[in-house]
Amino acid sequence: MHYDSNAEDISDTRLDYYVGECLVIDARGSKPLITVDTLPNLQGVERVLFKTYSNFPRDFWDHTFTAIAPSTIKYLATSGVKLVGIDSPSIDPQNSKTMDAHKAVLGADMRILEGLVLDDVSEGIYELIALPLAIEGGDASPVRAILRQIDHVS
């Protein structure tokens, strides 16, 4: 709702977006924008988290954080991704006035997680559990995001 007043509030969002298998992608070399050409094969992936920091900046505000290109959001959506997450404060650049990546997420009925701490997380497949609080009238919610390693049996 903080970028579209007609969007649903956080208490109405479906929780299945925030629980399930996800792919963590190491995007530390992607500044200023994560682009489609940096993505691996996304077949069957419904949730993608981007790691852009080696160490999350806890003691300062990084004005030059990595964001996600709107074309990348559109590509993720057409690939079947329903949730995108990032360890930076926003999927749009610091000085964006148009919030094009956010609007692409809204247009594709996707969900966003921002400000994740992925310091000790390696690229790979995990189970994500990141339930938002049901805040009536809220445009967002804090979550306690948990990644659990998935042991694949071959």
Residue 2 domain flag = no
CATH number at residue 129: 3.50.30.50
- Cα–Cα nearest to 62, from 70, 52, 72: 52
Contacts of 77 (CB under 8 A, 6+ apart): 104, 105, 107, 108, 110
Q: Which domain holds residue 78?
A: 10-149
Number of independent structural domains in the chain: 1
Given a cut of 80, whether residue 83 has pLDDT beyond it is yes
Residue 4 domain flag = no
Residue 106 identity: L
* Residue 63 a catalytic site member: no
* DSSP bridge partners of 146: 129
Residue 5 domain flag = no
Residue 82 domain flag = yes
Residue 26 domain flag = yes
Residue 3 domain flag = no
Per-residue model confidence (pLDDT) at position 1: 47
Residue 119 domain flag = yes
- Cα–Cα nearest to 36, from 63, 71, 67: 71
CA distance 149 to 126: 5
Per-residue model confidence (pLDDT) at position 14: 85
Residue 101 domain flag = yes
27-47 pLDDT, tens digit each: 999 999 999 998 999 999 999
Per-residue model confidence (pLDDT) at position 7: 67
pTM summary value: 0.91
> Rounded mean pLDDT of 85-112?
95
pLDDT band at 13; cut points 50, 70, 90: confident
Element (H, E) at 49: strand 47-51
